[in-house]
Amino acid sequence: MDALGGLLTGFSVILTPENLYLCLLGSVIGTLVGVLPGVGPLAALALLLPVTFTLTPVGGMVMLASIFYGAMYGGSTTSILLNIPGEAASVVTCIDGHQMARQGRAGAALGIAALGSFIAGTLGVIVMTFFAPLIAAAAIRFGPPENFGLMVLGLVCTLFMITGSTLKGVLMIALGFLSAAVGIDVVNGQERFTFGSINLSGGIELLAVVIGLFGVAEVLANVEKMLQSTLLTERIRNLWPTLADWRAAWRPMLRGSGLGFVLGLVPGGGPVTASFMSYALEKRIADRPDRFGKGAIEGVAGPESANNAAVAGSIIPVLSLGIPGNPVTALLLGALIIHGVQPGPLFMTQRPDLFWGIVASMYIGNVFLLLLNLPLVGLWAQLLRIPYRVLFPVVLLLSVVGTYSANKNVFDLWVMLGFGVAGYVLRKLEYDLAPFVIAFVLAPLLEQSLRQSLVMSPDGAMILLQRPVTALLLACSAILVVLMFTRQSRTEGGSR
C-alpha cells in the first residue's frame, strides 16, 4: 500500500465522531498535563492506560498518542511564565522564554512555542507518512558505535550551553556524569555509589532531579522575593508574535524539527535530549550568542519544535519495529499489546487500519492542539496575576504528586527535595543547572554505548573509526571543539 492510499485509509478510520472526540480529549488532557508543572506525560499515560481498555485499539492509541504530543505543546507554558518547566522536555525553554516574559513578551514566546510545536509536529508526521519503513530500516542498523558517536556530539553541544564561567559549567557537567553513575553498572551488573541503599540501586530518578532543580529551587528562590505579590505587575503587551519574531524563529523551527526527529529515533533519546541539543545548536550558530539567556526567541522556537518532532520520531520505531526508545513509547507499546496487537516489522501491512489510523490522527491532533493553544495564550498569561502565596503551594503540591507518581517510591521525594535545595544554592553561587541535566541524561547512554562498542570490537577502539557513521559524528564533534577554542582564543586576544 502506498503512502497516500494508506493515509486515505487512515483518515477513513479516524474520521468517526468517536475517534475525533478521543483525539480532542487526548489533546486537551495532554495540554493540561504539559501545563501543570511536575505532572508529565508518563504519569498521565500510566494513569489513563486502564481507561483505554474499554476503547477500540485505534481509539485508545489515538488518545494516548495525542496526550504524549499534547504535553509537548503545554510544557512550555509554565517554563515561559513562571520559569518552572511544565515537563522535562521544556527545561531549556525556561532560559530564554522566561526572560521574554520578564520583558513583557510572554504572549510572543507562548505563540511562537505553539506555532513551532505545530510546524514540527506536522512535519514529523509528514516524514512519518512517506518514509516510516525506510527510516525504521535505517534506525535498526544504528548500533552501539553509532549511538556513541551521537552522544559525543551531544556532549560537545552541551559545552555551548554554558553561560558565564566555563570552569563552573564544566564542573556542572562533571557532576551530572557523577550523579548518573549511581546505580547498577550496565556491563557487569555491579552496584556503584549506592552505599548499600536499595533505593539507589536503580540510579537517581531523572524526573525527581528535574522537578527538584527547576521546580522546587525556583519556588525557594522566589520565596525570598515574596515582597512583591505577583510575578509581573506590568501589563502584558504583544500577545502575538510580530513579523520580526516570526522572521527570527522560522529557521530555528525547521532546524529543531530535523534535529528532534532524528534524536527521537535513537533509543534512549527523545523529547528531552532533543530540546537540549536544539538549544545548544541555536546558540552555537547564532550571530550573537550573547543574546541567549536574555530573551532570544530562537531559544524558544528551536527547542519547542525539537521536542514535538522527537515525539513523531520516537513513535516510528514503536509502530514499525515494536521497539520503544523511551518510557513513554514503552507505555504506548504496552497499550497495543494489551489490546492483543503486537507491533513489529509487519505491523504496517498486517494492521494498516491501526498504523495509518494513528498517523492520520496525528495530523488532526496537531491542528486541534494549535487551535486549542493559540486562544489559550491570553488565558495562560493571566496566570502571572496569581499571587505567589497561592501559586507556589500549588506548584509544590504538583511537584510532589508528579515525582511520586513516576515510581510510587517515597525516596524519590527526598531526592526531589535534596536537588531542590542544591539547585537553590547552586543558583545563588551562579552555577548553570542546564548543563548538569543534559550531562545527567547523556551519561548513561554515552557510557553504555562506548563500553558495548569496545566489548563487541575485535580491534579495540578502532571500531569507532571503522564505522562510517560513527567516524563522521566524531569528526563533527572534533571540528566543533576546535572551532570553540579558536573562537575563544580570538576573543581573548582581542580583549587583551
Partner 1 sequence: MKRTVLACLAAGAALAIVALPAAAQDPKAELAKLKPRDFPTQPIEYVVVYPAGGGMDVTARLLAKHVEKWSGDKVIVNNRTGGAGMVGHSYLATQAKPDGYTVGILASLVWGDAMLRAQARWSLNDLEPIGYLNSDALTWVGRADGPYKGMTLQQIVQAGKDKPGTIRIATVPGSMWDYLIEQVEAASGAKFLRVPFQGGGAGITALVGGNVDVAQGFYSEFRGHLASGSVAPLAVASSGRMDFLKDMPTFNEALGGNEYLWQVIRFAVVPRGTPADRKAYLGAQVQTAMKDPELTEEYKKQGVYFDPKLAGSANVANDLQTYVEAERQFYVKTGRLK
Instruction: Give the one residue of 3, 8, 32, 49 binding partner 1; rule: CB under 8 A.
Output: 49
Instruction: Give the one residue of 131, 240, 291, 409 binding partner 1; rule: CB under 8 A.
Output: 409
- Footprint of partner 1 on 158-187 (CB under 8 A): 183-187
Taking a C-beta distance cutoff of 8 angstroms, is the pair 436, 429 a contact? no
Judged by CB, which is closer to partner 1: 59, or 343? 343
Taking a C-beta distance cutoff of 8 angstroms, is the pair 267, 429 a contact? no
* Residue 327 contacts partner 1 per CB under 8 A: yes
Residues in the interface with partner 1 (CB under 8 A) total: 58
Q: How far is the CB of 334 from partner 1 (least distance, A)?
A: 3
Judged by CB, which is closer to partner 1: 140, or 232? 140
Taking a C-beta distance cutoff of 8 angstroms, is the pair 139, 269 a contact? no
* Residue 408 contacts partner 1 per CB under 8 A: yes
* Residue 322 contacts partner 1 per CB under 8 A: yes
Q: Which stretch binds partner 1 (CB under 8 A): 66-74, 303-311, 343-351, 374-382?
A: 343-351
* Residue 238 contacts partner 1 per CB under 8 A: no
The SS3 assignment for 109 reads helix
Q: Give me the amino acid identity at 341.
A: V
* Residue 352 contacts partner 1 per CB under 8 A: no
Judged by CB, which is closer to partner 1: 21, or 53? 53
Judged by CB, which is closer to partner 1: 202, or 293? 202
Pick from 412, 50, 480: which is nearest to 216 by CA? 412
Taking a C-beta distance cutoff of 8 angstroms, is the pair 72, 34 a contact? yes
CA angle in degrees (0–180, nearest 5) for 213-307-339: 105
- Three cell numbers, residue 178: 557523577
The SS3 assignment for 191 reads strand
Judged by CB, which is closer to partner 1: 53, or 193? 53
Map residues 192-211 to x or -, x wherever contact with partner 1 holds by CB under 8 A: ----x-xxxxx--x------
Other C-beta atoms closer than 10 Å to the C-beta of 471 total 14
The SS3 assignment for 183 reads strand
Judged by CB, which is closer to partner 1: 346, or 401? 346
* Residue 346 contacts partner 1 per CB under 8 A: yes
Dihedral pair phi/psi, residue 38, rounded to 5°:
90, -50
Pick from 302, 332, 369, 381: which is nearest to 73 by CA? 369
Judged by CB, which is closer to partner 1: 204, or 254? 204
How far apart (Å, rounded) are the C-alpha atoms in residues 41 and 30? 7
* Residue 51 contacts partner 1 per CB under 8 A: no
Q: Which stretch binds partner 1 (CB under 8 A): 150-158, 190-198, 386-394, 479-487?
A: 190-198
* Residue 483 contacts partner 1 per CB under 8 A: no
- Three cell numbers, residue 117: 510545536
Taking a C-beta distance cutoff of 8 angstroms, is the pair 264, 311 a contact? yes
Instruction: Give the one residue of 17, 167, 189, 493 binding partner 1; rule: CB under 8 A.
Output: 189
Q: Which residues does 405 contact at the CB level (< 8 Å), separation at least 6?
A: 39, 43, 46, 47
Interface contacts to partner 1, rule CB under 8 A: 45-46, 49-50, 53, 140-144, 183-190, 196, 198-202, 205, 267, 321-324, 327, 330-335, 337-338, 340, 342-347, 406-409, 411-412, 448, 451-452, 455-456, 458
